[in-house]
Amino acid sequence: MTTTIEPFEEETAVRGYLRLMHELAIRVDLVARACTGELNLSPPYAREYCFLQFRRICELVALGCLQLHGDLPAARSSAAKKEWNAERIMKLLQRNHPHSFPQSLTRIKTANGWHLNANSKPNALTFIEFKALYNKCGEILHRGTIRTIEAEEPIEKPDYDEVINWSHKLVDLLNEHLVVRANGKGFYHISLKTESSGPACSIFFDFSEGMVNIVTYKSDIKLEF
């Protein structure tokens, strides 16, 4: 039996990614509210709640990358479409495209337009840290065994500081980021928040003689917190 592989549709992939980024932006904001006490959670439960959001954020990043890299055969395999584990999704993509993970981005206004500077935020979450955070979420969100419960230490200030640090790393990476396409096809530039409120994505492609083509898509969902 022959399996028909649907062609990669760039606009469909980007709009799907923007929907995920819309949800991600809300979850980032919920982490901030939990940390400032706006959600009326006592500190231990606020910490646990933040790690739940971190886990979902990691999953959204991985699923989003799977969509944007849908032109890779590995991303369109039945195994990839069934996979839910964020680390395994990113490892699959990394094997086929070593630069598939998002990169932080800063924009500088110049006389000729905008200068885009990738990987310019030293504190931005790296792929190694992404894996560490995802595994940490698993540790926090599972209650553990009788032995681990009996050996538990009280939660102290460094444990809460860790939540803040992870939050800052995620914001530095994702607030404005790019995703490099495979085979020199260009890159996606994503902003989580724009003047129209929701996320937006610009596709840069066909670089030649100092020129580049750009197509921009905006989310049709406005952020509501």
Helix (DSSP H) and strand (DSSP E) numbers for the chain: 7, 6
Report how far apart, in Å, the C-alpha atoms of 166 and of each of 58, 101, 209 are.
12, 17, 41
Beta bridge partners of 118: 105
- What are residue 110's phi and psi, to 5 degrees? -125, 175
Task: Please give the single-letter amino acid code of residue 176.
Answer: E
Q: Which of 173, 185, 175, 182 is nearest to 215 (CA)?
A: 185
The tens digit of pLDDT for each residue in 58-101 reads 999 999 999 999 999 989 888 888 999 999 999 999 999 999 99
Give the rounded distance of the alpha carbon of 32 from its chain centre.
Answer: 17
- pLDDT tens-place values along the chain, 225 residues long: 445 566 789 999 999 999 999 999 999 999 999 999 999 999 999 999 999 999 999 999 999 999 999 999 989 888 888 999 999 999 999 999 999 999 999 988 877 777 888 998 999 999 999 999 999 999 998 766 666 565 566 678 888 999 999 999 999 999 999 999 998 889 999 999 887 678 999 999 988 877 788 899 998 765 554
Q: Which residues contact 44 (CB under 8 A, 6 or more apart)?
A: 155
Residue type (1 letter), 192 = L
CB count, 10 Å around CB of 130?
A: 22
Q: Which tokens sit at 199?
A: 């996320």
